Amino acid sequence: MSDVLKRRFTEQIKIMFGWEPKKPEKITERAQQVHVLKRMTNKQDLIAVKAHLRAHEVKSTKWRNRRWITLIIANLLFTFSFLLDIQILEGALTASRFVGFHLIDLNSALQVMLAHKHIINNLVIGTGTVLLLWVLLGGRTFCSWVCPYHLLAEWAEKIHLFLAKKKLVTDQTMDRRLRTVFWIIFALLALATGYTVFEAISPTGILSRALIYGPGLALLWVLALLFFEVFFSRRAWCRYACPIGLTYGVVGIISPVRIKYKLEGCFHEGDCRKVCLVPHVLDTVIKGRAVDTEVPIGPDCTRCGLCVDACPTGSLSFEVKGLQKLL
């Protein structure tokens, strides 16, 4: 890894914890050349090419479809394992057994460990398995590919964007450092009260249990969150509050699965940033910001693939680091 990319790597971790992206201080020679070349391109030509590309653009939903199918199957597997007693995936998202193997959600495990202050073997095994799984699959991949709240929030987001377009609502943004603050508060609360306070309001846990064991009044809280997101603040829970996202984000720091940005073909039109849950990770696609000709997207990215679908130039793609070398 070059110095420039190393610097970017630590920068992206800070961004995950809530710092705002800054213009890069150093850019590689090659990337600088591309930036300069892009600036020298005749404007008329550029507009013509963009228009041509737009005219032939095929709206893709490939990754979104794959993701929604995965998410729905994963959650239904829980439901049917209990409902039909097929016992493939027993339990709920917080903790389960996949054909007998313990799986335990990292954030729930953390809450229990802090609250109970005693760790039994099964908890270690389940947490370890899940940790390994999401290190391999990309950390916050959990959010967009498995979390049931994510899917509901995506639909709520569509309503929000529709209303915003009609100028009926505006997105009230907040300070992203709040999520880190919540993570610390909930960790301290668990430690101090000896009770898993966050689990009581975790929409992921509430929804997962509702899908498996039947609906309850706790769903009102989930509805309240969705209402807030539709009318006040776009994707507020996932963006500014959810400590689960941050826990998995940290896991994703070392994950090989990620989105890769290629500077050369990009027209810097910003379509990707409009669909992104975490647009701060796509800061690099802004004109003049890419530090190299190929830049991996940071750990706060949920690997949802919406940007890959949205990009008209194919400048964003999934990448498994080291896979090319292996094959």
Partner 1 sequence: MSENENDRKPVAGPTPPLSKAKKQTNRRRFLRTTLLTGGVLGAALSGFLPIIYSQKKRLRPPGALDEKDFLGSCIKCGQCVQVCPVQAIKLADLIDGMGVGTPYIDPRSQACDFSCDAVQCILACPTGSLVYHKPDFLPVRAGAALQAKPTLLAKENDAEPTLNMNERIGVARLSRPEACLAIQGKGFKGQARGAEFKGKLRYMDVDRWKPIKVSEHPYDIPECDLCVRACPIKGAISIETVFAPDGSQRKSPVVHEPCVGCGVCEMICPVEPTAITIEAGEVWKI
Residue numbers 76-105 binding partner 1 by CB under 8 A: 81-82, 90-92, 94-97, 102, 104-105
For residue 65, count other CB atoms closer than 10 A to its CB.
Answer: 12
Cα–Cα distance between 36 and 39 in angstroms, integer? Answer: 5
Q: Is 235 in the site for partner 1 (CB under 8 A)?
A: no
- Token pair recorded at residue 14: 């800070």
Backbone angles phi, psi at 244, to 5 degrees: -60, -45
Kindly tell me which of 84 and 326 has the beta carbon lying closer to partner 1: 84
CA distances from 214 to 66, 115, 203, 206 (A): 26, 27, 15, 10
Q: Tell me which stretch binds partner 1 (CB under 8 A): 8-16, 136-144, 172-180, 253-261.
A: 172-180
Cα–Cα distance between 151 and 154 in angstroms, integer? Answer: 5
Map residues 290-309 to x or -, x wherever contact with partner 1 holds by CB under 8 A: --------------------
Task: Give the number of residues in contact with partner 1, rule: CB under 8 A.
Answer: 75
Question: Which of 106, 147, 156, 241: binder of partner 1 (CB under 8 A)?
Answer: 241
Q: Is 56 in the site for partner 1 (CB under 8 A)?
A: no
> Residue 280: which of 10, 7, 14 has the closest Cα?
14
Q: Is 247 in the site for partner 1 (CB under 8 A)?
A: no
Cα–Cα distance between 61 and 59 in angstroms, integer? Answer: 7
Q: Is 35 in the site for partner 1 (CB under 8 A)?
A: yes
Q: Is 174 in the site for partner 1 (CB under 8 A)?
A: yes
Q: Which residues contact 220 (CB under 8 A, 6 or more apart)?
A: none
For the segment 193-222, give every residue that binds partner 1 (CB under 8 A): 193-201, 205-206, 209, 212-213, 216-218, 220-221
Question: Which of 39, 59, 166, 167: binder of partner 1 (CB under 8 A)?
Answer: 39
Question: Which of 4, 15, 16, 27: binder of partner 1 (CB under 8 A)?
Answer: 27
